[in-house]
Amino acid sequence: MSLPLPLPTASPLPYPTYLQSPTHPSLPLSAQTHHSILRALLKTHSYAPSAQKPPLLASILAALTAYLPHLFALTAGLSGRSVRGEEIAVALTRELDVEWRSALRGEGAGVGRGKNRRMGRKKGRKMRVKGVDHEVCFALSALALVLRAQARERLRGVYYGGAGEEDRIVGVTAAMRLLLQAEGAHAFLAAEVCPGLSAAGPSSDAAAMPETSAQVQGGLRALAMAEATLLAVAKDDPYPGVVAQGRSKEDREWMIKGPEIPKVRAHLFARLCIAAGEHAGRAEAMLKVGDGDGGRVDEGVVAYAEDLRRTARAKACRFFAVDDELGGETGRGIAWLRAAKKELGWRVWEDGEKGWSKGWGKLKKGLDEKREDRKLEKGGEWGADGGKMEEGRLIPPFEPLLAGMPSGREIHSSKSYVPPELDAEALEKMRAPPDPDEARALMDDGDDSSDEDVAAGSDLPGSFPGRSAAESEYY
């Protein structure tokens, strides 16, 4: 399952107030138009009920896809680079100033751990950032989070929508591709965008935003790779389906025959899970280190990375158990299953062991075994325990198995995000001056105004009587 995170929201951004282009006069206004569409969709998604959020994701992705080429064209014009061989000149009349609400900051992403974890329940405060590069950072962060949210919805339909075998494979494959696209966006942010923001120095509240940290983006990149690797295993893993079938009250197939479990490439799957665990462990470490860059990453995000690491290693142990059982080493397979519980954080006790005397229990067991061996050597009585000790020797301890785990094996290769460019036809149209009526209408658009502009006496729909719309936040 993909990490559940809210989407960021932004304040209005009148580009013509900050930027002018002598070669492409319509470019700043066109960028503002697409930014306004994106902002409106993000705001609608933020206030929509949970059941109405998923259908909005496709529209938000389309708005981001249309907005980002304009944003990168403005960046190219400011830095003197060409777009499709065409020179774009952009002049900065005043420093760009915009506010974003973080999706990763500790007060905004979610609180709690384990069963009590709540993602996206509390909105963080708005933060002011300056410069086009910060706008690029947050737009790409929004893109990665939208891709993650789409992957999560595809997986929800697979695991909770009663999908058939073919639909399950199609859904898991689609979610895996979306996560790999998100990984590419995080990789581009970590390698190309965030280091430049750090070198330029803090920009107002930007230093307190986790999205601007290269460490945090690198951690999210590793987290997306871990999720995509686990999905590559889940696509061909028959055991969760068998367990779900056993829990289903509607299933009656067990009356006719037992479940058919095909043979799997257990050892290969185990090594893939180990690789996923390594990625998740790296993500956990980088997200913790990212706290020192300024913005505190929500503890729920760090806890998710830890849980994903435990899950991946437990899956690896389970597949090693399957591999040993297929090879006839049932006792070793049982030890692997006990190791899987250990990796999940569940306490695994030895036979006859008490919680406070675990070390003494192991020592006593070893002494009893040596004493029994000496009895056999001297021809004494034996077998009074019904063979319990001898049977216990057939199940080896799991600690040496965990210590001797092989290295992981990668299945996905990282592909960094490629910034989109405006096509030649769009660039040609932007050579014309902007329509004054269109510019005036966009500047006066009510969607780009804050909620404080609404009459103070009006009540918010669905709110308590007496609460005015002016008391609401504008995004």
pLDDT digits (tens, 9 = 90+) for 231-240: 999 888 887 7
DSSP string computed for 42-92: HHHHHHS-GGGSGGGHHHHHHHHHHHHHHHHHHHHHHHT-EETTEE---EE
**Are 222 and 286 spatial neighbours (Cβ–Cβ below 8 Å)?**
yes
- pLDDT band with cut points at 50, 70 and 90 for residue 441: low
Average confidence (pLDDT) over 43-58: 93
Summarised one tens digit per residue, pLDDT across range 66-124 is 999 999 999 999 998 989 888 999 999 998 888 888 888 765 444 444 444 555 445 66
Summarised one tens digit per residue, pLDDT across range 4-47 is 888 999 999 999 999 999 999 999 999 999 999 999 999 999 99
pTM (2 decimals)?
0.82
pLDDT at 18: 93
**Are 340 and 277 spatial neighbours (Cβ–Cβ below 8 Å)?**
no
Q: How does the average pLDDT of the chain come out, rounded? A: 80
d(CA 108, CA 123): 5
Most confident of 261-265, 275-279, 340-344, 371-375: 275-279
Average confidence (pLDDT) over 375-382: 63
d(CA 217, CA 192): 11
Count CA atoms closer than 13 A to 466's CA, side-chain side: 0
Residue (of 153, 214, 215, 213) closest to 178 by Cα position: 153
Summarised one tens digit per residue, pLDDT across range 165-202 is 788 889 899 999 999 999 999 999 999 999 888 655 55
Sign of CA pseudo-dihedral 54, 60, 65, 66: positive
Percent of the chain topping pLDDT 70? 69
pLDDT at 115: 44
